[in-house]
Structures are given as structure tokens and as C-alpha cells.
Amino acid sequence: MPKSSLRMQPPDALAKHDSEALLAAIIAFSRDAIISVSPAGVIQTWNEGAQSLLGWSAQDAIGRNLNDLLADEAHRGADALLERAMEGARLQMELEVVDQQGKRLEVSVGAAPIHDRDGAVTAIAFVMRDLRRRRRSQANDALLASLVRQSGDSIFSVNRDGLISTWNPASEKLYGYGADEAIDHPLSMIVPDDKRDESRAMFTSVMQGEMVFLETVRQRKDGSRVDVAISGAPLRDAKGAIVGISVIHRDITLQRQHEQEMRLVMRELAHRSKNLLAIILSMAAQTARNAPSLTEFNARFTQRVQGLAHSHDLLVEKNWLGAPIRDLIQSHLEPFLENGATRVVLSGPDVIVDPKAAQNIGLALHELATNASKYGALSSPNGRVEISWERSSGSQFMVEWKESGGPRVEAPRRRGFGQTVLERLASQALEGAAHLSFNEEGVVWRMEIPAAYLVEP
């Protein structure tokens, strides 16, 4: 056979050639700045990563001194680094370099000696890595850690095996477990038995890449249950693979209580509105039955509704919890007293009546005051009204209206709405009894109702 025109190289030579080619490719395409300098610090090689980081092309950089790339205060550190590398050491440190535009950059520098065949150090290889991204990442991580630590919401993470991997202080406050009790323990430790399926379904959804939001119930260390709003999101590694979930639990106990209170308020408002409408309809019907004309009806009905409004204004001031009886009486008599007259004497303890009693006693007071200002004691300069109240026996509360010094009183010839309120409607609404007397010296009205209509202050 004819000899080949190709010269066969020894296997060791081929391996060396391949490794050198591979190293050259790695250096050429590396994103890190990789350069080599002579023992005197003169730059000998310069890759594309160095050009990208510092701005100089290889043509501009090769032949410069290494110190041309460094901030003034970094020269001493670089000289020490170069000296140690020349002694054969491999070193790592952080320095400030200056790019072509004069901008300072923080870099991580790794230095290693380059040996010839005899083992002598002929150059130093430097690998520079921009620390700005790491610094931003570190700052972001610190900010995130601070936010998680200071958050009022429970924030924690769970690995793909369902074990808790982080646990912030708010989680400890909400659930009662310290970090050492929670981390590396299953998420199910805070899930009530009847919510296990729900929790597993949520975990599965998030591990498949979904964002999940729900309001549910979780369980504290002491076994008590707590209403929480939960949001869950997948945790991904640098390659984008889902490695766990991050979870935020917000205590919504107060929100639930507020919602329940609002429902109670709305039901109570509907109930009171119906009662108020019933009272107004009854007033309208009774007033119409006894009014001789539409004009008279309008006048009387308007006055009675205004009287009812006085009671409601007072109840609103007290958040509808009740009304002090003294304030209730004064609010109904004020429109009938001129120039701050003191012909009305009030006597009795400071007690509070509930809203139902305030409305009905207010109706009676309005009728009494209206009648007294037109025909009774308040229509005369010398007239006087004494209003007293007391808790008579242990289970009864009494209110009395007594007029004197006014015109001579005669019993009405016909029964009107006002008399019906005083003798029957107000007392019956409050499960009590009332008595109205038309004495010659003045009208006397007395009503007793159960003391259960009093409110403890």
C-alpha cells in the first residue's frame, strides 16, 4: 500500500492540541473578563468578555499596564495579588476597576499563575466578574427578606415534598409555632382535618404553575381555628423549574366579624324600619280619623312625625343603644318652652331606656306637651309641669306627668289619637299599663313598664 501523505501525530499530542483548542474557545466566548499579564503587569491577552466589561478592545488594551485598569486605591491590592500569584498561589479578591469611560466598577478577581513546560511562572491569568448584578441581587434579597420579616401577614414557603422551608415572625404570631417547630414539618400541621382535601388541591394547582387565591380556615397550635385569606404562587429555580410554593396567609377574623356585624345591622335596620313605618301608618290613620280637615291633618301629622324624629335623633347620637330618660324628656319639651322657661321640673335618677321604650315614651311625651301648650299648663304663664320617674318595685319602671297652675281642665268630649297613645298604644307596645286623669287642676299621666326596658350604662 502507498504511504499516506498525512503525518500521523502521537495520541498525547492530539489530546494536548484538543485541550488547548477547547480552552481557547472557553476563553473567547466566556462572559467573564479573562486576561493574562506578564510578571511586570503588562497585559498580554484580552477576551471579548473583557471588552464587554471594560470597553477597551483587545488592540487598545494589550500592552497596557494592569494598573491602568484599576482605581488608584486598588493598586496596592493588585500588586500584592500579582506578587502572590507569581509565587504560585491562586487567589480571589474584590477590587474596583475603571472602564474606558472612567466609570468605577466593583469586580471579583481570581488570579492564577501560568507555568511553562519547566514549571516556571511566565504570566498571570486574571478572571474578572462584574459584581453589580450580584450586588443588586443581594440588595433585592435583603429587601425581600426585610419585607418578609416585617410583614404583618404570615409568609412562608413549602418545598415540593410539602414541608415548610421558611417561616416569618408573623407566621409564628398567627399560628403559635416557632420557626424551629415549623421548618421541615409538613404544611398539614396548620390545616384542620376537614380542610385537608382543599389544601392538597391548592398545593397541586400551585405546583402546576397556577396562582391560587381563596378564603378559608386554618388551625393554630392550640387547636383554635382562624379565618384566613390565602394566596399561593410557585417558587422557581434559576432554570425556571418549580421547586416549591410561596404562601401568604392574612388573618381576616376582624373582617369576618365586621361582615357579621354588618349583616346584623342590616337585619336590625330592616326590623326597625318596619316598626317605624308601622308607627307612622298608625299615626296617619288615627290622625286622619280625628282631623276635621286636610289642613288640620297635615298640621297634626307633621307635628307627630317631628316628635318621633326627636326620639330618633337622640338614639342616633347614642349609636342606637338607648336614650337617657332626662335627655329624651328635654328634647320633646324644648319646642314648647320659650326663652328658656323653667316651668318644667324634672326629677328622677339617671337611667337609660332602650330604643323601643324611647320611641314610645317619646310619642306619649309629644302628645302631652302638645296638649299642655294648647290647652293645659304650658298655655298659661303660671302653669307648671312636673315630670318624675323612678324604678318603683324591683321589676317596674314608672314615668309620671303632672300639670298644675294652668286653665281648668275638662275631660275631652271625644277620644282623639293623642288620648289613644297615652292610654293604650304606648303602654301596650311596652307591655305595661298607663292611666290618664283629667283633674280640674291639671292633667296627670302615669305609665309603668317592665324594668327590662332599662339599659345598663
pLDDT, tens digit (0-9, with 9 covering 90-100), for 160-169: 999 999 999 9
Binning pLDDT at 50, 70 and 90, where does residue 400 land? very high
Burial class (CB in 10 A: 0-12, 13-18, 19+), 117: exposed
Q: Which helix (DSSP H) or strand (DSSP E) does residue 345 occupy?
A: strand 344-347
pLDDT at 196: 95
pLDDT at 153: 92
Q: How many CB atoms are closer than 10 A to CB 274?
A: 10
Mean model confidence pLDDT for the chain: 85
Q: How many CB atoms are closer than 10 A to CB 398?
A: 17
pLDDT at 275: 60
Binning pLDDT at 50, 70 and 90, where does residue 20 land? low
Mean pLDDT within 12-28:
63
| Integer Cα distance of 337 and 392 in angstroms | 29
| Integer Cα distance of 25 and 212 in angstroms | 46
Mean pLDDT within 83-92:
86
Q: Are strands 154-159 and 433-439 parallel, antiparallel or unpaired?
A: unpaired
Residues 375 and 367 sit within 8 Å (Cβ to Cβ): no
From edge to edge, which strands make up the β-sheet containing 344-347? 344-347, 384-390, 396-404, 442-450, 433-439
DSSP codes joined into one string, 165-194: EEE-HHHHHHH---HHHHTTSBGGGGS-GG
Residues 30 and 47 sit within 8 Å (Cβ to Cβ): yes
DSSP codes joined into one string, 109-143: EEEEEEE-TTS-EEEEEEEEEE-HHHHHHHHHHHH
pLDDT at 5: 41
Residues 107 and 97 sit within 8 Å (Cβ to Cβ): yes
Smallest Cα–Cα separation from 330: which of 393, 389, 392?
Answer: 389
| Integer Cα distance of 62 and 408 in angstroms | 125
Mean pLDDT within 114-137:
86
Distance (Å) of CA 141 to CA 134, 146, 247, 250, 424: 10, 8, 17, 23, 77
Distance (Å) of CA 457 to CA 97, 162, 331, 350, 392: 77, 53, 20, 10, 19
Is residue 391 over pLDDT 70? yes
| Integer Cα distance of 430 and 112 in angstroms | 99
The DSSP bridge partners found for residue 115 are 121
DSSP codes joined into one string, 256-318: HHHHHHHHHHHHHHHHHHHHHHHHHHHHHHHHHHH-SSHHHHHHHHHHHHHHHHHHHHHHHHT
> How do residues 254-293 score in pLDDT, each as one tens digit?
998 888 878 876 776 676 577 667 667 766 876 787 778 8
More confident of the two residues 234 and 359:
234
Is residue 84 over pLDDT 50? yes
pLDDT at 12: 56
Distance from the Cα of residue 171 to its chain's centroid:
16
Which residues in the chain are classed under CATH 3.30.450.20?
13-130, 147-251
> How do residues 426-456 score in pLDDT, each as one tens digit?
899 899 999 999 999 999 999 999 999 998 8
pLDDT at 340: 46
> How do residues 175-221 score in pLDDT, each as one tens digit?
999 999 999 999 999 999 999 999 999 999 999 999 999 999 999 99
Q: Which helix (DSSP H) or strand (DSSP E) does residue 147 occupy?
A: helix 132-150
> How do residues 23-62 score in pLDDT, each as one tens digit?
777 777 788 899 999 988 899 999 998 999 899 899 999 9
Residues 160 and 172 sit within 8 Å (Cβ to Cβ): no
Q: Which CATH class is domain 147-251?
A: alpha beta
Which residues in the chain are classed under CATH 3.30.565.10?
257-455
Q: Does domain 257-455 have CATH number 3.30.565.10?
A: yes
Q: What would the CATH number be for the domain defined by 13-130?
A: 3.30.450.20
Distance (Å) of CA 261 to CA 225, 251, 365: 20, 17, 33
> How do residues 303-336 score in pLDDT, each as one tens digit?
777 766 766 676 666 666 788 999 888 888 876 6
pLDDT at 14: 46
Residues 212 and 205 sit within 8 Å (Cβ to Cβ): yes
| Integer Cα distance of 19 and 123 in angstroms | 19
| Integer Cα distance of 218 and 446 in angstroms | 58
